[in-house]
Structure 1
Amino acid sequence: MDKEEINNKNHSLKNKTSNHGGTEHKHNEEHDHSHGNIPVYFYFIGLITFLIALFLGEDLLILSNMLFSITVVSAGYHVIIEGFGDTIKDSLRTKKFMPNIHFLMVLAAAAAMIIGSFEEAGLLILIFAGAHFLEDYAEGKSKREITNLLKLNPTEARRISTDNSVEVVSVDQLVVGDKVQVLNGGQVPTDGKIISGTTSIDESSINGESIPKEKTVGDDVFGSTINGTGSFVMEVSKDSSDTVFAKILKLVDQSQKNLSKTATTIKRLEPKYVTLVLMIFPFILVLGPTVFGWSWNVTLYRSIVFLISSSPCALAASAVPATLSAISNLAKRGVLFKGGSFLSNLGELKAISFDKTGTLTKGKPVVTNQYFIDGVDEEEVIDVIVSMEKESNHPLATAIVSNFPHTETKTLSVENEVGRGLVSTFNDNEYRISKPSEFNSYDKNIKEKVNEYSKDGKTVVLIAINKEVIGLIALMDVPNSNAKDAIEYFNDQGVHTTLITGDAKLTGESIGNELKIGQVIANVLPEDKAKIVKQQQDSYGLTAMVGDGVNDAPALVNADVGIAMGDGTDVAIDVADVVLMKNDISNLVYAHKVSRRLNKIVWQNIIFSMFIVLLLISLNFLGKMTIGIGVLAHEGSTVLVIFNGLRLLIPQKEM
């Protein structure tokens, strides 16, 4: 499946409404309630007039009531605008009555003023507006912490022209193939590859890693990262809109718009709830004098208290601030979510499937064992084979050279027999490095070692001198340092773990046994990974897939939560719902803990907010409630709910 096909499939499947529980968020249906500075100034004017009116008391009742009225209009400026403005706009758009909480509060304040309760009306608007600003702050804090990334976005680059002159150009003018100079202390303008020079680069803006990475010719560099003391020339490899950093910003934007299922449900039910309250209001006005025997003044007063008590302010603030706080917390750890729905779903997982290479393993082979028969000059043999392997670019050769860094380099002429191995001559002896099938017979001990290591899923190469096998080296793509703890965590949480790999059964089972993973499915073709994910969903329920390659993309799309490793391919990152920028699987455990905590806090908020509403309504009908107490209790519960959600900004305890 090529990239274009995957992207097309992604467009059709990424809504995933049924799987993720999220809903589509159309841009023109979103309301920006960022109030800016002007309403804040008006709010403090209202606060001042309220305090002056309290000081004046009943001695100057008319003046006090005028000041309380100014408080309602001034502090409630944005409440009135959003209450009536958004209600009218949404009602016209949907062609049905769509009132919001602000509309309800404005009506309650107006009704209180009609019956002469100016102080209570001022208090209602003052506290409601204050709680609303706090909610905005809670949401804004999360957004600001994430979108501070925008400040790191490079704007200029030093492009080298064909005559080797340097011109400073806008980053968006760079094209693939351009050569760019990066000076010491400068910002890497876009993604590319170093073609001359060496340096160290701070890549914390990409992967959160605080220790700079050494870079030299041939190494990849990423836009927005900061160059160290060296200078270098790079060749641009990606358009500015396709860089890793650009993809991070895209994820940030998506995370602000995609709410969790619970938050979306609350948002959708808000106008219906408010409409129901407004429908009940006239019944209370009628039933008060006729059924309950209340006077008209008592009826009107308790009807107003009912409007205040019934307002779902705390309920509306139950999910969004908490979700954005959790997303912000995770972004600091290099875990980027495309939306709250995926974060919420992560905590409800019943099964999780992992790709092997580069996800649970280091992604490249390392030497795990070596064995030589008695009487062999092991040190000299290793010097020779390392010198031979230095002439090869095979991954196994790279692993062998890396494993023996302190060897004496021999001057050799090496022949690479394609499909058979390497051959060279040293001190009139022929050295051969080949796979076991190239030799008809060899030492019994070596044969036992070959069988033992092969059963463990390792790749074995034999070393022969003058066609006699004198030793071997075993190599394997070994699990990364955090994989075992991560698998153990998910097993303990009752989440079914599965390893999906295209490797042979022995290799897959060897890794699976070492990690104690629940199920191993080996010899899997790329196109079959998505089918296996679907089977997992049918058998267990909500399923996640973790991968890093193009061959993982279809499975990432079909999973309820697709998780890509940050060092993976662009396609995998594009179609995934979550990206682990540090390639650290332990951060997935951290995200799962935060997700479970998020879901717990949201339900705490919902239960608490509805309990307060029911309590206030009950006390109101029993005659134990005033407008002032109702406002303090109701808006106080909203503040508590918001602060409870903000707890998710605090880092979660480690495993």
Structure 2
Amino acid sequence: MTALTENTLPREGLLQKITPHLELAAALFSGLLILAGWLLDRNGAETASVFVYLSAFLIGGFAKAKEGIEATIKEKELNVEMLMILAAAGSAAIGYWTEGAILIFIFAVSGALETYTMNKSQREISALMDIQPDTALLVRDGSEEHVHVSELTRGDIIIVKPGERVPADGLISKGHTTIDEAAITGESIPVSKEAGADVFAGTVNMTGSVYIEVTKKADETLFQKIIELVQSAQSEKSPSQQFIERFEGSYVKVVLVIVSLMMFLPHFLLGWSWTETFYRAMVLLVVASPCALVASIMPATLSAISNGARSGILFKGGAHLENLSHIKAIAFDKTGTLTRGKPEVTDVVIRGNLRRQEILQAAASIESRSNHPLAHAVVRYAQQENILFSPPDQLEDVAGWGVKGTIGDNVWKIGKAAFVGKEEAAAFANGAAAQFAEDGKTTIYIADQEGIAAVIALKDIIREETKQALKTLQDEGIFTIMLTGDSEKTARAIASETALGSYIAECLPEQKVDHVKELLEKYGTVAMVGDGINDAPALATASVGIAMGEGSDVALETADVILMKNDLPKIAEAIQLSRKMQRIVKQNIIFSISVIVLLIISNFFQVLDLPFGVLGHEGSTILVILNGLRLLKT
């Protein structure tokens, strides 16, 4: 998708705003002409009234007639608009000018309202586009200048002041502030940011002035991807919508055949006059039209997609949104999905004659020179404990085992049990390491000249929201299972702590695919939730692939649904939204079919006149659209 320019957005937005107003104005003007034609007819000016009625036909019906004729030529299929044109022309042909004009008037008004209501969900995207800044304050050669966002390149430094929106994705290089990321994640609580933190285009800088190093061009930002994904999703039709559209063509043909028979059979079989027979055929042509049925699905689907985008849930199409309502089982990756994806220190056991602060200071000092994730966790822990440390005097990396460092007169060793003495490590602190292993924790040992000084236990901590998210899914009757490459002990500990339905440990990527296929055979419709490159094959195999927003690009490209903020409760929210959409669609279909049947029966018993038939038909269409738009509400 190309970067949005200053000129394209206003033009598109203007057309979107003007079109329904022009349609409605034409419809209302045709209504005034109908009133004028009726008054002329009452006063004996029959020829003048016919001319005025013809003007009402042309002005009120032009938009819908053009739409119907173009669609018929393009798709080579008759549609509901053509039925309305034939009904109005037929009414005029037998002298029912007023009824035909009223048909055109109400059809035009309902068409304008349909355009308005359909555009309402599309305006969610326009609203997103409107909050994307056009310009940025660029620092270049020591001076500041305003440039268009399309001119920004990676490595540029920009300034964002309090109250301004961030114009590009980047990293804060200087300063600290609070950012409102609701446009990206749906999270209403602002997030504190300091040097090194990621910021995203379209978010609002709340407090401090910050310098940001641009990391992505304007057409590559996360914000731009959101717009692109939602636009793509809105253009992709669900299986139900595709069925309805295929059904429409056949249905229209059947209606035309029945109307053709209705034009002469009642005259011979029931003794109706030719005028009454033809009139009832025209009423049938109107009330049997499947407008409401056709409009039962698309507005609801677009509204649900827009609702999800506002809440940080991106659906890549109506089909995936529809599939979510049928989910019977969900498979989860562990690291970065159920857990935070970063190990954290959970326990520190110290030898009796040493001080905790001294041990953590030495450990942080040595580990600060390592790139290992466990080393980073130890350093973070010391910083959280407000322990000050400085680099070691000497450091030696023993590949595959650990590190050896010198701080003053003390020599420290940090690493595996075998690095500090396997038997001594097993016996340390009454075998604490064995219990840590049972709990799914990883241990590292710290030794000084006298032997093992401490053991530190680390664990990839379960996200705070994981337990509640899994419980909500289980309450919905959904089976939950974890597929992880971790060891049996670690998997068992995580499953026990989160109350997962089941787990499978030591899974390679291809094995995850096999297990997802087994779940598909057993449950029918299965979702897979993951964030890594190794999860991509399983995400593609599942009925619905759900990726965490902070996951790998491969996972995001493969998935059908993306959680912009790694917020697991959003899965249950997405499923509930899907189920609500399905309920509304069913309500619309049942209601629209019931109205059509009722109007057809009323017409057959000659108790329904054309204006009331039009009112019932078009009114039901508007009602199903408005019912679908309820999904726009959070």
Same fold (TM over 0.5): yes
User: Structure 1: which 5+ residue stretches go unaligned?
Assistant: 1-31, 92-97
Is the deviation greater in 507-516 or in 136-145? Answer: 507-516
Q: Look up the match of 1:637.
A: 620
Q: What residue is the counterpart of 1:89 in the other structure?
A: 74
Match of 1:39 among 2, 15, 23: 23
**Matching residue within 323, 327, 339 for 1:349:** 327
1:582 maps to 2:565: yes
Q: Deviations over 1:14-44 (max 9, x none)?
A: xxxxxxxxxxxxxxxxxx9994543332112
SS at match of 1:294: coil
Corresponding position: 1:261 with 2:242: no
Q: Which one-letter code corresponds to 1:501 in the other structure?
A: T
Check conservation: 1:49, 1:68, Cα contact below 8 A. Answer: yes
Structure 1 residues 536-551: aligned runs within 5 Å: 536-551=519-534
Indicate the SS of the match to 1:122: helix
Query: What is the distance in 2 between the residues matched to 1:374 and 1:629?
Result: 92
3-state SS of paired residue (2:458):
strand
**Cross-structure match for 1:6:** none
- The code of the aligned residue for 2:356 comes to E
1: CA distance, partners of 2:394 / 2:98:
94
| Sequence identity percentage | 41
Residue of structure 1 equivalent to 2:12: none
Amino acid aligned to 1:42: A
Aligned residue type for 1:606:
I
Q: Tell me, in whole angstroms, the C-alpha distance in 2 between the residues paired with 1:167 and 1:47.
A: 56
In 2, Cα distance between equivalents of 1:435 and 1:324 = 55
Mapped to 2, the partners of 1:578 and 1:415 lie a distance apart of 47
User: Is 1:395 the counterpart of 2:373 in the alignment?
Assistant: yes
526, 536, 540: which one pairs with 2:509?
526
Summarize deviations over 1:395-448 as a string: whole Å, max 9, x none: 223333333423442445363533333444568554443333332315757343
List aligned pairs for 1:412-431, cutoff 5 A: 412-413=392-393, 415-418=395-398, 419-424=400-405, 428-431=409-412
Matched with 2:107 is 128
1:319 corresponds in structure 2 to: 297
1:573 equivalent in structure 2? 556
AA at the equivalent of 2:42: E
Q: Residue 484 of structure 1 corresponds to which residue in structure 2? A: 467
Q: Deviations over 1:482-505 (max 9, x none)?
A: 222222222233323221212112
Give the counterpart letter for 1:435 in structure 2. Answer: K
How do 1:84-163 and structure 2 match up within 5 A? 84-91=69-76, 98-159=77-138
Say if 2:40 and 2:49, in contact at 8 Å, map to a contact too: yes
Q: Return the letter of the residue paired with 1:601.
A: I
Q: Distance in 2 between matches of 1:407 and 1:219?
A: 21
The one-character-per-residue Cα deviations of 1:561-581 (angstroms, maximum 9, x if unpaired) are 121111112222222221111
Alpha-carbon distance between aligned partners in 2 of 1:169 and 1:244, rounded to the nearest angstrom: 20
Q: Does 1:70 align with 2:38?
A: no
2:144 aligned with 1:184: no
| 2:7 match | none
**Are the counterparts in 1 of residues 396 and 405 from structure 2 also a CA contact under 8 Å?**
no
Number of the residue aligned with 1:282? 260
Instruction: Report the Cα distance in structure 2 between the residues aligned to 1:388 and 1:204, rounded to whole angstroms.
Output: 40
**Aligned counterparts of 1:447 and 1:393: Cα–Cα separation in 2:** 31
What amino acid maps onto 2:157 in structure 1?
V
Write the letter of the residue equivalent to 2:81. Answer: H
Matched residue of 2:340: which SS?
coil
Superposition RMSD on alpha carbons, in Å? 2.7
In the alignment, the residues of structure 1 paired with residue 566 and residue 397 of structure 2 have an alpha-carbon distance, to the nearest angstrom, of 36
The amino acid across from 1:114 in the alignment is A
Q: Is the CA contact (8 Å cut-off) linking 1:83 and 1:104 kept in structure 2?
A: no
Distance across 2 between alignment mates of 1:214 and 1:632: 56
**Does the 8 A contact of 1:179 with 1:236 survive in 2?**
yes
Distance 1:287 1:522, change over 3 A: same
Change (3 A) 1:60 1:359: farther
Take 1:472 and 1:51, find their aligned partners in 2: how far apart are those partners?
91
Cα distance change of structure 1 residues 296 and 78 upon mapping to structure 2, 3 Å threshold? same
After superposition, the Cα gap between the structure-2 partners of 1:426 and 1:129, relative to the gap in structure 1 and judged at 3 Å, is same
Q: Is contact 2:230-2:306 (8 Å) kept?
A: no
1:153 & 1:502 partners in 2: Cα distance?
Answer: 40
Letter in 2 for 1:40: L
Measured after TM superposition, the shift of residue 105 of structure 1 is: 0.6
Report matched runs for 1:220-231 at 5 Å. 220-231=198-209
C-alpha separation between the residues in 1 aligned to 2:149 and 2:351?
60
Question: What stretches of structure 1 move > 6 A for 4+ residues in a row?
Answer: none
In structure 2, do the counterparts of structure 1 residues 108 and 363 end up closer, same or farther at CA, with 3 Å as the change threshold? same
8 Å contact from structure 1 (residues 260, 344) kept in 2: yes
Change (3 A) 1:255 1:61: farther
Separation (CA, whole Å) in 2 of partners of 1:47 and 1:278: 28
Check 1:239–1:554 CA distance in 2 against 1; reply closer, same or farther (3 A cut): farther
- The TM-score, its normalising length taken from structure 2, stands at 0.89
Please give the alpha-carbon distance, in whole angstroms, between the structure 1 residues aligned to 2:65 and 2:389: 84
The Cα offsets for residues 485-537 of structure 1, whole Å up to 9 and x where unpaired, read as 22222223332322121211221222122222222122122344333323322
Equivalent residue for 1:22? none
Structure 2 vs 1, CA of residues 359 and 442 (structure 1 numbering), >3 Å: closer, same or farther?
Answer: closer
Task: Find 2:32's aligned residue among 42, 48, 56.
Answer: 48
**Are 1:100 and 1:274, in contact at CA under 8 Å, matched by a contact in 2?**
yes
Q: Which runs of 5+ in 2 are unaligned?
A: 1-15
> Which among 591, 594, 601 is matched to residue 577 of structure 2?
594
Find the counterpart in structure 1 of residue 11 from structure 2. Answer: none
What are the equivalent positions in structure 2 for 1:508-523 lying under 5 Å apart?
Answer: 508-523=491-506
Deviations 1:44-93 (A, max 9, x none): 211223344566773456355554443332222212212223223322xx
Q: How far apart, in 2, do the equivalents of 1:324 and 1:382 lie?
A: 55
Q: CA deviation at 1:326?
A: 0.9
Alpha-carbon spacing, 1:380–1:100, altered in 2? closer, same or farther (3 Å)? same
**SS across alignment from 1:76:** helix
Give the alignment partner of residue 607 of structure 1, picking from 571, 590, 612. 590
Q: Distance in 1 between matches of 2:561 and 2:457?
A: 35
CA 1:216 to 1:583, structure 2 compared with 1: closer, same or farther past 3 Å? same
Alpha carbons 2:78, 2:252 under 8 Å: kept:
yes
113 and 468 in structure 1: CA distance in 2 versus 1, 3 angstrom threshold: same
Q: Is the 8 A contact 1:195 1:235 kept in 2?
A: yes
Distance (whole Å) between structure 2 residues aligned to residue 61 and residue 566 of structure 1: 70
Distance 2:331 2:38 in 1: 64
Q: Displacement of 1:559 after TM fit?
A: 2.3
Name the count of aligned residue pairs: 612
Aligned AA (2:393): S
- 1: CA distance, partners of 2:553 / 2:135: 24
Worse overlay, 226-235 or 109-118: 226-235
Shift in alpha-carbon separation, 1:565–1:410, aligned structure 2, 3 A: closer
Q: Secondary structure at the match of 2:216?
A: coil
Cα distance in 2, alignment partners of residues 532 and 61 from structure 1: 80
Residue 380 of structure 1 and its aligned partner are, at CA, apart by: 3.8
Change (3 A) 1:33 1:165: closer
2:609 is matched by which residue type in structure 1?
A: T
C-alpha change, 1:118 and 1:580, in structure 2 (3 Å) is same
Matched, 1:497 2:480: yes
Q: What per-residue deviation string (whole Å, max 9, x for no partner) do you get for residues 595-625 of structure 1?
A: 0010111011111111111121122222222
- C-alpha separation in 2, matches of 1:410 and 1:237: 32
Any idea what SS the aligned residue of 1:270 has?
helix
Cα distance change, pair 46–616 in 1 and its aligned pair in 2 (3 A): same
Aligned to 1:27: none
SS across alignment from 1:364: strand
